[in-house]
Amino acid sequence: MKPSRRNLLALGGGAMAGVVFTPLPWKLLDDTAIWTQNWPWIPQPARGPVEVKAAACSLCPHGCGLQVRMAAGFPVGVSGAPAHPVSGGALCPLAFGAHQLNWHPRRLHEVRRRGRAASWDAASMALRAAAAEGPVAVIDGRPGRGASAILRDFAGKSGAYITAPGPEERSLAPYAAWSGVPASALGYDLESARTIISFGAPLLDGWGTPGRFTRLWSTHAAGLGDPELRLIQIEPGLSHTATLAWRWVPARPGSDAALAAGLARVLVEERLVPAKGPVPATSVADAAGAAGLPADAIVELARMIAQRAPALAISVDGEPAVAALNLLLGGGIVQRRETAAPQAAAIAPRAVVIDATVPWEYEPASGAEVFRFAAWDGGGSKADWLLPAPGFLEEITEHPSAPGSAVASYALSPALMDAPADVRGAAAFVGGTPADAVLARCQEIFRARNGGLYRRGAKDAVPLASLESAARLQDELLAGAVWVDDPAGSRKVRCELKEWPAAAAGTHRGGWADAWSAPVLPPLATKLYQESNLREVPARSRI
């Protein structure tokens, strides 16, 4: 039979119809799915030996212990260091993506003067010229470091050394004023408290060291009808902390001072606490009116507070009336055994140098020429000079006592990767040698011989006396050990309070993004904000 055109078309059509019933199209689709896994533009993880190194998080002053997984010389994962004496293995959500920050699009790689590229020499000359014309203020976000001593010495020559307090230190400001001890050396004795009255402090949402209060709460309070540790949250809205608290008291915004005074009045009048110090003039009825609560509720709340002592009152704003209530309840404020940063006298500086440890939002209240160190450009800066600083894990960082902690501590974090070529820190810029300053701080601790050294993963401390030298102490610290003072070294603070304090206008209500010095968030955290309804997007730069 001679094949015809009709036969050819029938064969073609039959073949096309038949192939649908064979595995071929599915195999082709399957193979396409496999091939497209390997397009050249799909990023592939780097290969290389994986090792775990000890470090500490430098993005807020709490210095949580990290375990950093390294592959091919780069950090590929971060987790909490178990049994860390400061953070107890816990981290805030931001820390889990912090290793990606050094490649954030807003990373600073060059000196900028009012938005234009400049040089280190030009910045140095500008600072020298400014110093010749008037005083220079240096602002440090983490006092107590060896590098802080360099900044303090530089400022001491012709200006003022100023510290930028974080949320915990701001809440301790009234005690600093009444005791004369700088807030940077004060802390809360949370561990001894059995009732905590929080006036808006986000205790379970990033206030303080992540592993400190949350661990206490999860062990002694979470899910219990009558917990060993009672958390009473006084706050207008249902925050994360309020919803998890033993009792939530929805008082009106701005009524903290009146409510604290009303509670104090009941405590004294009903002799629920030993009468000491001044008594507020505010009546319970006035307090109830201001707070929008029934007077009975205030009386009941005061009785509840007195029921399980010791009680500790914490105000997120540093509200003096709350601090006075706390003193009436017995205090719970301790002074750590360490050299506190001196409080500077107010000056009108010609120039201001802001260290990279100061949160981006900080703005000095002056018309001075501002030299701002930062690893990332947060945008909207009023700084005249933007000076690129080393980023996350790019330099040896020091971690003095966490703000608000009850015991002094000191840790070092090694540089786990190379910093870009043209970056430097404020201490080096003003002429200091940070490496020498770190060793000097280690010598200071070694000479005092207080406390002990918690090696990586160890639950018990090694006495400092067992080390042969300060250099050895530094090596141990760089390997992941943490020096912690003897708790007996901290002492209760004595405050002189002559009259019940007037209310102060509070403004700070921030959670765990508040103390971050970086103006950007890890991209994975921005993802968390974008795709979950857990919390609002904070005012930080996103990718």
Partner 1 sequence: MKKRRYGMVIDLDRCTGCGACSVACAAENNVPPAAPRATERTGITPLRVQPVSNGASGPARREVFIPLMCMQCGEHTPCVSVCPQQAVEVDSATGIVTQMPQRCLGCRYCMTACPYHARYFNWWDPEWPAGMEKTLNPGVATRMRGVVEKCNLCHSRLHAAEDKAAAANQREVNPADYVPACVEACPTGAILFGDLADETSAVARAARAPQAFRLLEKLGTEPKVYYRSNRPWVRALAEPRTVPAKEVQRG
- According to CB under 8 A, which residues from 174 to 233 bind partner 1? 204-206, 210-211, 214-215, 217-218, 222-225
Q: Helix 295-307 vs helix 284-291: angle between axes, to the nearest 10 degrees?
A: 100
| Residue showing tokens 């260290």 | 355
Strand arrangement, sheet containing 409-413: 397-400, 409-413, 482-484, 452-454, 462-463
Q: For residues 236-255, which are near partner 1 according to CB under 8 A?
A: 238, 240, 243-244, 248-250
CB closer to partner 1 out of 4 and 38: 38
**Segment contacting partner 1 by CB under 8 A, of 71-79, 397-405, 438-446, 502-510:** 71-79
The burial of 483, by beta-carbon neighbours within 10 Å (0-12 exposed, 13-18 middle, 19 or more buried), is given as buried
Alpha carbon of residue 496 to chain centroid: 30
CB of 266 to partner 1, least distance (A): 19
Which of 36, 466 has the CB closer to partner 1? 36
Residues 6+ apart with CB under 8 A from 420: 109, 388
Binding to partner 1, residues 271-290 (CB under 8 A)? none
Q: Which of 77, 180, 294, 380 binds partner 1 (CB under 8 A)?
A: 77
Output 249 or 503, the one with its CB closest to partner 1. 249
Q: Which residues, including other chains, have CB under 8 Å from residue 183's CB and lie 6 or more apart?
A: 165, 169, 170, 172, 173, 175, 176
Q: Which residues pair with 138 in a beta bridge?
A: 161, 353
Q: Which run of H or of E encompasses 50?
A: strand 50-56
- Residue type for position 518: A
Least distance CB 237 / partner 1 (angstroms): 10
Among 96, 199, 483, 516, binds partner 1 (CB under 8 A): 96
**Which of 226, 468 has the CB closer to partner 1?**
226
Cβ distance to partner 1 smaller for residue 159 or 208: 208
Smaller CB distance to partner 1: residue 71 or 347?
71
Residue whose CB is less far from partner 1, 45 or 115: 45
Among 74, 194, 450, 461, binds partner 1 (CB under 8 A): 74
- Any idea what the Cα angle at residue 437 is, between residues 435 and 440, rounded to 5°? 115
Binds partner 1 (CB under 8 A): choice among 90, 162, 314, 407: 90
Nearer to partner 1, 29 or 348 (CB): 29
* Residues 391/102, Cβ–Cβ less than 8 Å: yes
Task: Look at phi and psi of residue 435 and say left if phi exceeds 0, alpha if psi is from -120 to 50, else beta.
Answer: alpha
Task: With residue 71 as reference, give the H or E element that holds it.
Answer: strand 65-71
Tell me which of 86, 94, 151, 386 binds partner 1, using CB under 8 A. Answer: 94
Site for partner 1 in 319-338 (CB under 8 A): none
| Cα angle for residues 201, 207, 209 (degrees, 5° grid) | 150
SS3 335: strand
Residues 15-54: x where in contact with partner 1 by CB under 8 A, - otherwise, as a string: --------------xx--xx-xx-x-xxxxxxxx-x----
Segment lying near partner 1 (by CB under 8 A), choices 91-99, 108-116, 178-186, 355-363 = 91-99
Q: Which is nearer to partner 1, 72 or 435 (CB)?
A: 72
> Among 25, 105, 253, 292, which residue sits at the site for partner 1 (rule: CB under 8 A)?
105
> Considering the complex, what minimum distance in angstroms separates the CB of residue 230 from partner 1?
15
Give ∠ CA 355-357-362 in degrees, rounded to 5: 80
Whether residue 310 is preceded by a cis peptide bond, meaning omega within 30 degrees of 0, is yes
Total Cβ atoms within 10 A of residue 45: 9
Binding segment (CB under 8 A) for partner 1, from list 78-86, 169-177, 404-412, 459-467: 78-86
- CA quadruple 515, 518, 523, 527: dihedral positive or negative? positive
Size of the site for partner 1 (CB under 8 A): 74
Give least dist CB 192 to partner 1, A: 21
Cα–Cα dist 79/95, whole Å: 8
Q: Which of 53, 76, 472, 508 binds partner 1 (CB under 8 A)?
A: 76
Least distance from partner 1 to the Cβ atom of residue 204, Å: 5
Q: How far is the CB of 431 from partner 1 (least distance, A)?
A: 32
Least Å distance between CB 228 and partner 1? 14
507-536 binders of partner 1 (CB under 8 A): 512, 522-528, 530-535
What token pair was written down for 23? Answer: 């595995």
Q: Confirm or reject binding of residue 431 to partner 1 (CB under 8 A).
A: no
DSSP of 378-432: -SS---SEEEE---TTSS-EEEEPPTB-SS-EEEEE---SPPPTT---HHHHTT-
Smallest separation (angstroms) from partner 1 to the CB of 139:
30
The distance of closest approach from Cβ of residue 218 to partner 1 in the complex, given in angstroms and rounded to an integer, is 4
